[in-house]
A and B are shown apart, each in its own frame.
Chain A
Amino acid sequence: MANMSSQDKLSHDLGMHTEQLTGRTQETFFDLKDDGGFGYHDAFDVDFNKRAEIDASNMGAKEINARIRELMTEGHGTIVVKNPGAKHSLAVGILNRLNLIIEGSLGYFGCGLIDGPNIRISGRVGWSCAENMMAGTLVIEKNAGSTFGAAIRGGDLVCKGSVGSRTGIDMKGGTIIVGGDTGAFSGFMMQRGRMVVCGNAGKNLGDSMYDGTIYIGGEITDLGVDAVPSELTDLDKAWLTRKLTMYGLLPEKGVNHFQKIVAGKQLWNYDNLEPTEKKLIL
């Protein structure tokens, strides 16, 4: 401050000064010999053989989710939820290994943000089931609503029945498997991952998809913008056979009839604009 000119001082007083920032880019090191186990640092130590049941008939969604968490803290690795009554937002945010069995149906946003558990649902699910799923398996025995697996990033999401529209919208990884049909705009803005539909697909399949792969076993009403057919390779067939067998959904006639849809890559325009922008700046 002492060496500042009067003009600098005036500017400084007006708040127009620059400040020298110190610090460095974050660098984190870790030792490969660190024994962090197989779960997150604060994961609950659960035993798959320790089983508990929740009768959810007279409980609210928040209460049910808190109870699931409480049972995990007690070491229960298998939890059965009875009478879920199609309540919304059940079994969300589970970042742990766990066998969760839901006997009944869920409302919307069920099992969102899960990272690790294996969940089986004997009934149906509403909109946006498994939204932002990170890891684990989720198997639904009946049908699912729209935006099934929205923005999923990892894991296996399986619906043995049919699903609504916009399945896997904005998906960034993982696998979505549908035993029946899927609605319009499935795979909309898909960025990565795999979607397998054993039945038919509605209008605008894979519209504006950026990357990833869609396999359809039935009829496709029509393809969306920049979604194009591709060759089904032996690797594709092997992968499809393995994955569908895992969930008991392998068609009797095998997988040779599946159609493969990928991005035509004509929408990758961002990079083309960049040099123009740079020239404008320079």
Chain B
Amino acid sequence: MAGSSYKGSNIESVDQFLDDAAGLGSEREQEIGQHIGYRYDVNLVPDYQRLTPFLKDYLEFMGWDDLNWLEDVHMGYEEGQPAIFDRNINGWVRIPDEFKLPDNQQDRDMVARELLIKFQMSPSHPLVQLNKAYRKF
């Protein structure tokens, strides 16, 4: 759980996947000419000193003592753009270009968690429409 590698390759800098969208790090990736899997370290341990005020309120609201399921949420990168994976829609949610990213992965992860909660609870979330269309009971 050290937080220094992803899918068999090492993370060398926080902007690695922004600067190099192809990101063919490992020998295997270079061999097949495409990136393998996640664009972030899935095992990075959250730094609780960096919780945002929004996340603190969310944890208190839910009655949790720590980040709970959000421990598994990280800022990822899709085609050179920062993005968050939303398990409820099985897809990536991209961060707008104008959004200024923090300079370290821990803060980026906290931002990702906050944005994901806001997206999932938003009336614009695709599940809201699916719910209306398909809910049986």
Contact = CB atoms under 8 A, between A and B. Distances in A.
Q: Do A and B truly interact?
A: yes
A31 B123 CA distance: 10
A41 B66 contact: no
A275 B31 contact: yes
Interface stretch (B12-20, B67-75, B76-84): B67-75
B43 A213 contact: yes
A134 B57 contact: no
Contacts of B45: 235, 238-239
B69 A154 contact: yes
Contacts of B58: 38
A187 interface: no
B3 interface: yes
A271 interface: yes
Interface stretch (A22-30, A197-205, A217-225): A22-30
Given A28-B126, A274-B32, A192 B8 contact: no
B118 A32 contact: yes
Contacts of B72: 153-154, 173-174, 192-193
A272 interface: yes
B128 A41 contact: yes
Nearest to A133: B69
A118 interface: yes
A165 interface: no
Nearest to A69: B137
Contacts of B2: 233, 235
A156 B36 CA distance: 29
A193 B125 CA distance: 26
A42 B131 contact: yes
A36 B122 CA distance: 5
B71 A34 contact: no
Counting contact residues on chain B (CB < 8 A from A), the size range is: 35 or more
Among B28, B31, B62, B128: residue with most chain A CB under 10 A: B62
A241 B135 CA distance: 42
Contact of B61 (A38, A40, A154, A246): A38
A150 interface: no
Contacts of B31: 275
B68 A136 contact: yes
B133 interface: no
A12 interface: no
Given A38-B62, A40-B120, A235-B45, 7 more contacts: A40-B121, A41-B122, A137-B64, A153-B87, A154-B68, A239-B1, A272-B32
Q: Across chains A and B, which 8 residue pairs bring their CB atoms closest together, nearest first? A: A154-B69, A36-B121, A135-B69, A30-B124, A173-B72, A38-B61, A30-B122, A36-B122
Interface of B: 1-3, 8, 28, 31-34, 36, 42-43, 45, 57-58, 61-66, 68-69, 71-72, 87, 115, 117-128, 131
19 contacts: A30-B119, A30-B125, A31-B122, A34-B123, A36-B121, A36-B123, A38-B58, A41-B122, A48-B63, A134-B87, A153-B87, A173-B69, A173-B72, A235-B1, A246-B66, A265-B8, A271-B32, A274-B34, A275-B31
